[in-house]
């Protein structure tokens, strides 16, 4: 039951591999967004470059789709594998089941048109839209950022009119802001990673009065693109 000629084991390692591939594709999508941000900031009129960035994102969306279908087909076969007992035809039926399922999934999928509706593609496209003057962009980002803080801190943030661009740990203006998914607090990546390394299991959120008692782990942190953009625009508006 646990080992039908070792196939479930092979399946497991394929599934693990697919999981890693998905993570890599996700990271590539995020990097493409970073590139898109630079294109939007510094190559405003280069439509060719924008198109290339969008095409690149579509390639990754396509890959993600393939890997997900492959994973579903593997899971389908894994289930079948565990319920089927010794069977000389099993080797053949294994491949047939897999191919059949993969075919089914591809048919059911909406095709490449759906790829334009992928959240990462939409995020990239929105970067290329005319976003108005720096002041207008700052104002709309400020609304979004204060709204965010409001969600996680309750009434406390209501009285804060301005966006805090300083890292609560280093006290410096953040260069690469990351958000703690557990409590919503934002820190500079380098600073907070140093803090985690020093404190390990005692690396509680450094924001005073934060209700999050879990030690911070690198996996709790996510890029805070809006904050990064806000800080970049702020320095542009002050510098020029």
User: Can you give the binding site for Zn ion, defined by CB under 5 A?
Assistant: 183, 185, 205, 207, 210, 212
Hey, which residues does 178 pair with through a beta bridge? 187, 223
In terms of CB distance, is 50 or 220 closer to Zn ion? 220
Instruction: Identify whether the C-beta of residue 178 lies closer than 8 Å to the C-beta of residue 224.
Output: yes
Instruction: Identify whether the C-beta of residue 148 lies closer than 8 Å to the C-beta of residue 141.
Output: no
Q: Considering Cα of 206, then 211, then 216, then 218, what sign does the dihedral take?
A: negative
**CB of residue 207 vs Zn ion: minimum separation in angstroms?**
4
Hey, which residues does 186 pair with through a beta bridge? 179
**CB of residue 221 vs Zn ion: minimum separation in angstroms?**
12
Q: Which among 100, 120, 107 is positioned nearest to 32, based on CA atoms?
A: 120
Instruction: Identify whether the C-beta of residue 110 lies closer than 8 Å to the C-beta of residue 61.
Output: no
Output DSSP code: residue 155: G
In terms of CB distance, is 99 or 194 closer to Zn ion? 194
**CB of residue 227 vs Zn ion: minimum separation in angstroms?**
15
In terms of CB distance, is 138 or 205 closer to Zn ion? 205
In terms of CB distance, is 8 or 206 closer to Zn ion? 206
Residue in the block written with tokens 């994973």: 71
**CB of residue 24 vs Zn ion: minimum separation in angstroms?**
30
**CB of residue 56 vs Zn ion: minimum separation in angstroms?**
35
In terms of CB distance, is 210 or 234 closer to Zn ion? 210
């Amino acid at each position: 039951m646990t080992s039908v000629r070792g196939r479930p084991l092979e399946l497991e390692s394929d599934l693990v591999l697919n999981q890693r591939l998905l993570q890599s594709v996700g990271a590539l999508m995020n990097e493409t967004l970073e590139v898109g941000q630079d294109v939007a900031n510094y190559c405003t009129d280069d439509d060719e470059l924008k198109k290339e960035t969008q095409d690149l994102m579509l390639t990754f969306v396509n890959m993600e789709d393939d890997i997900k279908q492959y994973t579903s087909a593997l899971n389908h076969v894994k289930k079948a594998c565990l319920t089927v007992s010794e069977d000389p035809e099993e080797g053949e039926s294994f491949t047939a089941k897999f191919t059949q399922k993969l075919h089914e999934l591809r048919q059911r999928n909406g095709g490449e048109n759906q790829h334009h509706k992928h959240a990462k593609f939409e995020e990239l496209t929105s970067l290329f839209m005319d976003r108005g003057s720096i002041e207008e962009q700052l104002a709309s980002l400020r609304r979004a950022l204060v709204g965010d803080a409001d969600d996680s801190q309750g009434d406390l943030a209501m009285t804060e009119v301005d966006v805090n661009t300083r890292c609560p740990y280093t006290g410096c203006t953040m260069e690469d802001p990351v958000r703690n998914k557990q409590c919503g607090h934002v820190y500079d990546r380098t600073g907070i990673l140093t803090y985690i390394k020093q404190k390990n299991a005692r690396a509680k959120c450094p924001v005073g009065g934060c209700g999050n008692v879990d030690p911070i782990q690198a996996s709790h942190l996510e890029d805070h693109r809006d904050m990064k953009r806000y800080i970049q625009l702020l320095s542009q508006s002050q510098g020029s």
